[in-house]
Amino acid sequence: MLEKKVTKYLKEHNLLQVGEKLLVGVSGGPDSLALLHFLQGTGSQFGYNIVVAHVDHMFRGEESYEDLLFVEKYCEEHSIVFEGTRINVNDYIDESGQSSQTAARTLRYRFYKEMMEKHGIQKLVLGHHGDDQIETILMRLTRGASGAARAGIPVKRPFEHGQIVRPFLAVEKQDILDYCGRHGLTPRLDPSNEKGSYSRNRFRLSVLPFLKRENIKAHEHFQRFSEELREDEELLLELTKSKMEGIWAKQSKLESAIHIKELMEMPNSLQRRAIQLILNYLYGENPESLTAKHTTQIKELFMNPDPSAELHFPKGLLVKKSYDFCMFSFLQTKPKTYYLKLEVPGETVLPNGYKIKAQYIKGSSCRNSNSTFLMPAHAASQPLIARTREDGDRMYLKGLHGSKKIKDIFINEKIPIEKRGTWPVVVDSSGEVLWVPSLRKSSREAENGDDQQIYIYLEYIKV
C-alpha cells in the first residue's frame, strides 16, 4: 500500500521532521491531491503545518480556473491555508521565447518561492512519483544529458533557502490511483496529459507500458539507479574539484582560461566532469540546450592538432583554443557567420542566443506564429540549414505574389543593424529560403495540418 511505502521512504531519506511547516504544490490532479491527503493524515501524528500553493497557468481557460476553485474548496473544507494565483503563461512565452512547459515551470516555481518567503517555510513538497522518474531519466538520456542530469528527479534538492522534497518517488501512478479510490478522492484530470504533442506524454503513453510489461517493478529499479548514480556523481565531482586548482589559469564569470594539458592528463571520466564544472561556473545555471554533445565538442577542440580553433555555445559563450590555453568568454558581441545543419528531430543552438527545435509531428497540434514553421516531411529537401544572410538572398513570401529581399525584410521589420549579421535564415538543401524566424515565412509553409500526414515542425526559441 502507498501509505507503508511512503512512510518507509520518508524515514529512509529523512525528508520531513516533526512539527515542520510545509508548502505543498497541488494542481488538483491525482498525484498532488493524494500527496496532500496523505500529509494531512500523517500530519495528525507528526504535527505538520501545511500551506497549499496552486498555479493556474491559464492554458485551458475556464477548465483550468475550475481546477483552482476545486483546490481552494478542498482546502477550505479541511481548514488548510490556500495560496492560489492565475498567470498568463502565453504572454510570458512571447516575452521570453521559452517553450510552454519551461515557461510554466519557471513561473510556477517563482510563485512557490514567493509563498515560502511569505509564510516562512523551508520545505516545498511535490507529488512527482516513480513513473515520472522513469519518464524523466529516459527523456534526458534520449536528449543527451550528462552528469547528474541523467539521474532524473532528485529525492531532495536545495531550493532558495530551503529544500524541495518528493516523498512519492517511492510509488508508481497506479498506487496513487488506488489510494484515491480507497479514500474517496475525486481529483481533477488534465486532458493535455493525453496529447501526443508533448514529448513526456509520448514516453508515458508508449514507452512506460512496455517497461511495466517487462517488469512490474521497473519504477523501483529506476529509482535505485537514480539514487546510486547521483551518489557516484557526487563522489566523482569531489575528486574532480580537488584537481581544479591546477587547471584554472584565469577564473572570472565573464572571461576565464584553463590549462589544456593539465586537464587532458586527468582520467577521462574526470575530464568530462571538469568541463562540466567549468560550464556550471560560467553559466551559473546551465541552459536546457547544453548537453553531453557540448562536452564532447570541447574535448574534440582540445585534441584538434590545429593550435587555434573556436566554438560558439548558448547565450553567446565563445570557447577559443589558443595553443596550450582555452579561453571561455561572454565578452564577444559579434559572432562570425555560421552555416549549421538542423538536427531533425533535435535542437540546434545558434550563435545569437536562440535555438531551433525540430520535430516530426502529425497534423496541426502546434503553435502557429512567425516563430514556428510547418512543412510536409515528404516535401522537405533535407538537410535543412540555418545560416547567416548572404548577399542576394530572396524569399517568396507566404500569402503574397513574388519574392522579396531578406535585406528589405530586416529593414521593414526594423531589425537593428547589429542583429542582422547573426539573424538566422533557414534554407533547404537547394538553397531556397524557407523562413526568417520570428519575421516572415515563405510560401513553402503548410496551410493547415492534416492528421494523416507527417510534418516537420520548427520552433525558434530563446536559449
C-alpha cell recorded at residue 421: 549579421
Any idea what the Cα angle at residue 284 is, between residues 280 and 290, rounded to 5°? 55
Contact present, 123 and 20 (Cβ < 8 Å): yes
Contact present, 460 and 384 (Cβ < 8 Å): no
Q: Distance between CA 227 and CA 148 in Å, rounded?
A: 10
CA torsion sign for 302, 305, 307, 310 is negative
Strands (E) across 394-444 are located at 394-396, 403-405, 424-427, 433-436, 440-441
Backbone φ, ψ for residue 442 (5° rounding): -90, 175
- 341 Cβ contact list (under 8 Å, min separation 6): 348, 383, 384, 385
Torsion angle of alpha carbons 289, 291, 297, 299, nearest 10°?
140
Backbone φ, ψ for residue 367 (5° rounding): -75, 150
Q: Distance between CA 432 and CA 435 in Å, rounded?
A: 9
Residue bearing cell 510534418: 455
Annotated binding site: 27-32
Contact present, 389 and 372 (Cβ < 8 Å): no
Residue 320: CB atoms within 10 Å: 17
SS3 content of the chain, % helix, strand, coil (to 5): 45, 25, 35
Burial class (CB in 10 A: 0-12, 13-18, 19+), 175: buried
Torsion angle of alpha carbons 363, 366, 370, 376, nearest 10°?
-20
Annotated binding site for ATP: 27-32
